[in-house]
Structure formats: C-alpha cells, structure tokens
Chains A and B, each alone.
Chain A
C-alpha cells in the first residue's frame, strides 16, 4: 500500500521566519493538496496542484508559497511565520477525478514562538 509522508512532524519557528513543510506520496496520485487545520476547526485549503509544476490557490493562500517539482512531492512554505501561530498542516493526495477521496498524511504541527 501507499503512504503520504509529511516532514517534519513538528516544527517550531520564530516570528518572521520562512518555514518549509514537505510532503511525499507514493500512490502515483495526480492531485496534491495542502490544508490548514486550526484547533477545533475544519480544514481550509491553502494550495493544490493537479500535476507536476501546476499550482492553484485555495481560499487561504495568502502568506504561503507552494512548489510541485515532481509528481510525488509537494512542498509548502510559510513566507513569514506569525507570532503565537499554532496550527496543523495537512497534505493530501488523490487520483484525478472529482469522485476520488483525497487521502491524508499525518500532518505537521507548527508552533511559532
């Protein structure tokens, strides 16, 4: 079976720092996603990519950059970490096609001091 691996699992940053989160999948899925989850809240889409080198902004893209240089990997950069920010960033992937459910990685937990 396949797996979605997110690194690092925990990330502690300083205010104003640029931070990069990485995601790898071996399902050979076309589409990959980055979501943000704040405590007690739902998932909000930051970026998604339907193929290598494609990037599409989600509702929460401001303050983030993304990169999809290979089909299997999708990285997310927090361009300037906000003080006291705490959230979980979730990577997901799916086969192309609207009825396919994305599968999720275990998340990266971000804390900004």
Chain B
C-alpha cells in the first residue's frame, strides 16, 4: 500500500499567485516527520520544509508553508507569490519515528508549472 499519496499529477498557475499541493500519508506511528522536496529540471533534489507530527504550528520557510491537518493525515504545501523558477516537481515524504526505522517514503510527485 502506498504510504504517501500525491493525487495531483500536474498543476499550472499564473506567476505571483498562490498554489497548494496536496499530500496524504498513512502511518500507525505516534511520532513521524513530513518533508517536502523540490526536483528541478536538471534533476537536482532540494529539501524545502519539514513538519514534525507533534507540533501543532504549521511550518513556514520563506514563501513555503505547510497546511498540516493531522486528523486527515494530510500535509499540503503552499507556495505564495509563485515565481517562474518555482516550476519543478514537488515530492512529499514521510519518515516514521517510533521504531527508529530509517526509511523515507516518497510520493510520486506533483509537477508545477508557473506561467508568466
């Protein structure tokens, strides 16, 4: 079964607007960690932002923020004031914390295109 699911295959938005990318996850651990990464056209994978499951506040880094809805097992990525260079594939990932298991589960990614 897929542990991390990104249902949006691709999204297009106009520059300077806000976009939300969805991600739902599945875990039985009481402690877990959620991550978003960006993969550029060159293939480079860059870590963007993290949410710890025990924190109620949504994480924010620069123009990236998260919408963490724990009861729905959902962790959305919000990009405000989008720029052309935000065009990339965005991956959601989860690491379970209780067992110390080091596996990262990745979603299949959402391709974002920012249009001028």
Contact = CB atoms under 8 A, between A and B. Distances in A.
B107 A98 contact: no
Interface residues of A, number: 22
A1 interface: no
Nearest to B98: A98
B103 A58 contact: yes
Interface of B: 31-33, 35, 37, 43-47, 50, 52, 91, 95-97, 100, 102-104, 106-109
Interface of A: 31, 33, 35, 41-45, 48, 50, 56, 58, 88, 90, 98-99, 101-104, 106-107
Q: 10 smallest A-B Cβ distances: which pairs?
A: A104-B45, A42-B108, A98-B97, A101-B47, A43-B106, A42-B106, A99-B33, A98-B95, A101-B35, A107-B43
23 contacts: A33-B102, A41-B109, A42-B106, A42-B108, A42-B109, A43-B91, A48-B102, A56-B102, A58-B103, A90-B45, A98-B31, A98-B32, A98-B96, A98-B102, A99-B33, A99-B52, A99-B95, A101-B35, A101-B37, A104-B37, A104-B46, A106-B43, A107-B43
